[in-house]
Structure 1
Amino acid sequence: MGKPIPRNELSPAQISPPLRVVGLMSGTSHDAVDAAACELRLAGDTLTLTPLGHLSAPYPPALRSALVTALPPARAAMETVCRLDTGIGQAFADVAARAVAELCGGHADLVVSHGQTVFHWASDGGAVLGTLQLGEAAWIAEATGLPVVSGLRTRDVAAGGQGAPLVGLFDALWLAGRPGTAVALNLGGIANVTVLPSAVQPGLPVAEPVETRTFDTGPACALLDAATLHVTGGRLAFDADGGLAAGGQVLPDLLERLLDDPYYARPAPKSTGKEHFHLGYLLDRLGPTPPGAEDLLATLVALTARTVADAVRHTASEVVASGGGIRNPVLMAALREELPDVAIRTSDELGVPSQAKEALAFAVLGFHTWHGLPGVLPGATGARRTSVLGSVTPGLGGRFPPGRTTAVGPPGRLEITGSV
């Protein structure tokens, strides 16, 4: 990407008014709603993001219990889906209202809601046929009075894309110009990566992808959390600080059985979810003599580290990690062992709080929708074309995004200013 034009050389028409945006996210761990607020301004091809803060609110226990009970491989009645859609929408609305009041000083322009993914419909061949996120946006618009962008994944799926991961645009703008080949890694329930085209670095032994690629590598915390809940009889929801895994040994035979899943051999772009990687899937592969708790967790840590490393080891010179998995020191140590020649750091070191990163990424996607700009990069998700993402629920008085203007073009880089 070229050198940015100095702000003092831009005409007023080339500088967008600041937009104060709240991004809302709940991932595949489905335990809480995260909100991140920021101010975004586009000057020339540089999008400047100023973080205003972030917060997280757990789902009400009854709502989370109903959600967990309804998720695949369980089958849910339409009444259950309707109740969840309303309950999740109201939970997101409460968090959005708090974010506007507490993080934005009572004033914001736009809310962007990822919603809660409850099903990601992928065929046996890997094509995504549909995706469902619950959390009706009307509850958010009613609670805040603001326009709400939601349903961002579906348009990409309709255009033939995977619909996931959608953080590729944010990662590509944010990490543009990093030396070598930068890879953004998110260790949520599912691990996903964004592999950027290589910067020109004479003598650096990395392959150069022709375009940004973004895809799910496989399970991260999904199987770890499911196994922890199972082996502790429900006492622990996750393996805090990798304590159980640290006391175990990797079981080579079990690891090979787990690695034998055809998903790992599929070419990118690809996506997956808990429809595939769930407790029943794991129990089916344990064999007649289940391993001890510590050995099972150690082996699942090795599975995540190996599958992430296999996806990037021949390209990455740097991995920038975020997501709940970075708080597991055993997992991070296993990843560094798999990639000894790759610099591995967290997004916090580059100015983006790891807990807020996905919510900030969806805020940036909402900024693009507001201005009628595509929210995906060519080729990144496998879609036939890039698309403006999401549906818009008008705010109070019918407030609605203005659409594409000739003055505002797509940004080429993301600059983070300040930090909270």
Structure 2
Amino acid sequence: MRVIGLMSGTSHDAIDAVGADIHLRDNTIHVDTVGLLSRAYPDRLRAELIAALPPGTVDIATVCRLDTAIGQEFAATADAAVREFFDGTADLVASHGQTVYHWVTDGKTYGTLQLGQPSWIAELTGLPVVNDFRSRDIAAGGQGAPLVALFDLLWLAGRPGRSAALNIGGIANATVTGESPVAFDTGPGNALIDAAVELATDGAEHFDRDGQRAARGTVDERLLKALLADSYYRAAPPKTTGKELFNRAYVERVLPDYRLPTDDIVATMTALTAHTIADALAPFEPDEVIVSGGGTRNPTLMGMLGQRLGNATLCTSDELGLPSAAKEATAFAVLGFLTMHGLAGSDAACTGATRATVLGSITPGAGPLTLPESPSAAPRQLRLVSHV
């Protein structure tokens, strides 16, 4: 199947699209990524989206408008990807949508909401669309995240030692391989760094470009100690979190007690991300940590993380042939492929579900919906070739 994978993460800045030629043979998923493009949200839509996120409050009319507008942006991105990567013909779009709320109370996940109405994608491209991947895992008792765990386990199958696949977006998540694999959100990735920059610059800057502010600043150990006291870090996996907790209001509650220069605040938030990731991975003693996501473009963060990982080798997914910017969109392209073939897209041990489930809902395209034959066995590994 020629699949377009669509992803917009917890940084809420752009929609990433990957074109992937995927087939299943001899219990192995073969993925050939042929292209990657990224389209930024229009400024007005991004501003309205961010205003709607916790701790903001919105009415149902705003939710409806966002669902339509985000769906139209996803549709335009998918259409551009189909034309650019597959000369106008493809088989499937797998759309993660835009997470606006993940309902977690006392460590249990009760619901999730991703906006981006798939009908707009199906109507514009004429292709079937798989979306709403997380809800089924939650209904089966899981956390609904991180859903890239199964992709990570298949992709890293056969590597020597124990590997940890780490994605640093707004929130950081990790999958650790081994006899008893585990996956969980470690805590904030770029979320609090970005929030600190936006607060300090009155919204003129949205992130710490190339980690320059953190590099100039000094980590305030008293503030760092206070931040590390958050109870989330002591919870055992599987666990998930999001900008419902780690958001701008979180930073605003903490900072009044600390009169620090902007660069010191950003340096401390960057250290928090490095500390919490390393501390979360330490009990599993990974031999290597393979990083993807926007955090890889912050050399100060990567340097802090490398210093705290001990003997583990730190590398990026690019070094394993998977561009870090394409990782999550590729993963959801694979999950959409699995759904269309009636195969589970989750690992129950990693999400905490009672069983692995076929994920998502399918919106038919322009023609009759024809599902391929379901394989007799689930895939055991994934082999990827990237032309991105």
1:40 corresponds to 2:22:
yes
Contact 1:168 1:212 in 2 (8 A): no
Residue from 154, 172, 184 that aligns with 1:191: 172
How much does 1:400 deviate? Answer: 3.9
Q: Secondary structure at the match of 2:324?
A: coil
Q: Tell me how many residue pairs correspond in the alignment.
A: 387
Question: Per-residue CA shift, 1:216-246, capped at 9, x if unaligned?
Answer: 0000110111110111122211100111111
Residue in 2 that maps onto 1:76: 58
SS state of the match for residue 162, structure 1? coil
Which whole-Å CA distance do the structure 1 matches of 2:84 and 2:78 have between them?
10
Contact 2:223–2:258 at 8 Å: present in 1 too? Answer: no
CA distance in 1, matches of 2:164, 2:276: 14
Q: Report sequence identity in percent.
A: 54
What letter corresponds to residue 71 of structure 1 in structure 2? Answer: L
The aligned counterpart of 1:270 is 239
Q: Distance in 1 between matches of 2:373 and 2:48?
A: 38
Match of 1:238 in 2: 207
TM-align CA RMSD? 1.0
Aligned to 1:224: 193
Among 101, 105, 112, the residue aligned to 2:94: 112
Shift of 1:265: 0.4
Alpha-carbon distance between aligned partners in 1 of 2:180 and 2:364, rounded to the nearest angstrom: 35
- The structural deviation recorded for 1:183 is 0.3
Where does structure 1 lack aligned partners over 5 or more consecutive residues? 1-18, 198-209
Could you tell me how far apart the structure 2 residues matched to 1:61 and 1:418 are?
Answer: 31
User: Who is 1:333 aligned against?
Assistant: 303
The SS at the match of 1:263 is: helix
Letter in 1 for 2:129: V
Paired residue type of 2:314: I
**CA–CA distance in structure 1, aligned partners of residues 174 and 386 of structure 2:** 25
Q: CA deviation at 1:417?
A: 2.3
Letter paired with 1:70: A
TM-score by length of 1: 0.91
Asked if 1:415 is matched to 2:383, the reply is yes
Q: Would you say 1:351 and 2:321 are equivalent positions?
A: yes
Which sections of structure 2, spanning at least 5 residues, go unmatched? none
Tell me, in whole angstroms, the C-alpha distance in 2 between the residues paired with 1:401 and 1:61. Answer: 38
Whether the 8 Å contact between 1:392 and 1:400 is mirrored in structure 2 is no
Deviations along 1:261-307, one digit per CA (max 9) or x if unpaired, are 00000000000000000111112122434311011011111100010
SS of structure 2 residue aligned to 1:192: strand
Residues 1:49 and 2:31 are matched in the alignment = yes
Match of 1:373?
343
| In structure 2, distance between residues paired with 1:59 and 1:84 | 12
- Does residue 61 (structure 1) correspond to residue 29 (structure 2)? The answer is no
Distance 1:405 1:293 in 2: 55
Question: Does the aligned pair in 2 maintain the 1:195–1:214 contact within 8 Å?
Answer: yes
Q: Is the 8 A contact 2:19 2:85 kept in 1?
A: yes
TM-score between the two structures when normalised by the length of structure 2: 0.98
C-alpha offsets along residues 110-155 of structure 1, whole Å, 9 cap, x if unaligned?
00000000000000x2100100000010000001100000000000
Q: What is the identity, as a one-letter code, of the residue corresponding to 2:27? A: D
2:151 pairs, out of 147, 157, 170, with: 170
* Higher radius of gyration, 1 or 2: 1
Output the CA distance in 1 between the equivalents of 2:35 and 2:322: 11
Q: Does 1:308 align with 2:277?
A: yes
* Counterpart Cα distance in 2 of 1:175 and 1:387: 21
**Which of 310, 323, 329 is 2:293 aligned to?**
323
Residue 40 of structure 1 aligns to a residue in which SS?
A: strand
